[in-house]
Amino acid sequence: MIAVRRYTDTAVRAGISFGSALAIAISWSVNKSILWAIIHGFLSWFYVAWYALTRG
């Protein structure tokens, strides 16, 4: 049980990190603004999903 929880915690952290990096990369390529990239990095997967829905 403990091993499963550790794996889940690690996977969730990796997903959050990847989502933030992806949001920052998309934001920078679209806006060329550090401030927007930071804001979108905090929003993470929400920004990535919004971008995919509105521009995909």
Q: State pTM to two decimals.
A: 0.74
- DSSP-derived letter for residue 33 is -
Per-domain residue ranges for the chain?
A: 2-55
CA distance 42 to 30: 17
Q: Is 24 exposed, middle or buried (0-12, 13-18, 19+ CB in 10 A)?
A: buried
Given a cut of 90, whether residue 56 has pLDDT beyond it is: no
pLDDT at 27: 95
pLDDT at 42: 93
* 5-50 residue pLDDT tens: 666 667 667 777 888 999 999 999 999 999 999 999 999 999 999 9
Given a cut of 90, whether residue 4 has pLDDT beyond it is: no
pLDDT at 44: 92
